[in-house]
Homo-oligomer: A and B are copies of this chain.
Amino acid sequence: MIRIGIDVGGTGIQIGVVNHEYTIIHESSIPTRINIPFEEQVKHITDAVVSTAEAAGYSIDDIESVGVGIPGIASAKTGEVIKCTNMGWRHVPFREVFNQYLDKPVFIDNDANVAALAESVAGVSAGSSSSVFITIGTGIGSGIIINNRIWSGAHHIGGELGHVIFDLDGVSCTCGNHGCLERYCSATALIRMAREAIADCPESMILQLVHQDPAKIEAKTVFDAAYAGDPIALSVYHHYIDCLAQAIANVVNFLDPEMIVLGGGVSKAGHFLLDPLVTEFRKYVLFNDQPLPQISLAVLGSEAGIIGAAMLS
């Protein structure tokens, strides 16, 4: 028996065949199409599920379940997608329509929750019963695991760590509020801090690395320049680490999970990101004379979406 994991993204939908050792044994993708009716979108997905299973040498009968991770909000209970802007979905009966085309148990959840589940079962937080997965990219998302289950909230709107107020009346956010955590802790924030810093110091290595074009600065640019010892980049890096350490401490002070897992593009900076955080977050934890959550880098990378979706039950 196999499980199918589906990762719905903005440009493509990844479909993976996952075995009982949580390994993707075959994978395919179809483009995200939004200008067709919802029923047709689902039909494309179910067709791809069948063809992907068959390409891996399995029949429909071998499919134990299908799980779907979506960038949006969904009810794991009713199988309804409440909101998924990328697909143009609002209050669509996903499970119901899916089952009209393919009669298999189908489960659906938010993509950050799904990645959190994947890491907590087959990744770095395996063996823990509670964890918070923080994905640090353009924005900040998070997935919460409590007692080995996804906690997405009573109304499926939890895990939005990126939009927790972190700096009263602070930097304005795309959501319309001010001082949201992701304005200080995302890749976007790091890039903003770097641009602000080089405005006063045009000699920074950050600018050299992007051939004097600030529009080309990426998170990696800042980390590379800081790693090389550029003083401007180092000062931005230290400030960013300090913000992220406070964000991690916030999760500890409020929820105290067994582990905190860092994923997303920024986590590719590896130990240059992780090591100072592991030291720095402690000073912002109230009971920091106690055993504290372990902070780790995610290990499943982009596979977490498919593996975690396949694990949904």
Q: A residues within 8 Å of B by Cβ?
A: 73, 82-83, 128-130, 142, 144, 146-147, 151-161, 163-168, 170, 175-177, 179, 184, 243, 246-247, 249-250, 252-258, 283-287, 290-293
Contact = CB atoms under 8 A, between A and B. Distances in A.
12 contacts: A73-B287, A83-B287, A144-B255, A152-B256, A154-B257, A157-B252, A157-B287, A158-B254, A165-B246, A167-B168, A167-B170, A168-B184
B290 A155 contact: yes
Nearest to A252: B157
Nearest to A253: B160
A166 B147 CA distance: 28
A250 B146 contact: no
Nearest to A291: B155
A161 B254 contact: yes
Given A154-B258, A158-B253, A166 B168 contact: yes
Given A154-B256, A157-B252, A158-B253, A286 B146 contact: no
Residue picked from A157, A249, A293, most chain B C-beta under 10 Å: A157
Contacts of A167: 167-168, 170, 179
Given A168-B166, A168-B243, A157 B286 contact: yes
Number of copies: 2
Given A158-B256, A163-B253, A175 B293 contact: no
Nearest to A246: B165
Given A82-B290, A184-B168, A290-B82, A157 B249 contact: no
Given A128-B154, A158-B256, A168-B179, 9 more contacts: A142-B254, A156-B256, A157-B253, A157-B256, A164-B253, A165-B247, A165-B250, A168-B170, A168-B246
A115 to B, nearest CB: 17
Given A157-B287, A284-B177, A166 B165 contact: yes
Contacts of A155: 256, 287, 290-293
Contacts of A142: 254
A214 to B, nearest CB: 24
A249 B163 CA distance: 9
B250 A153 contact: no
Contacts of A247: 165
A152 B253 CA distance: 10
Contacts of A253: 157-158, 160-161, 163-164
A181 B253 CA distance: 11
A153 B286 contact: no
Contact of A254 (B159, B243, B286, B293): B159
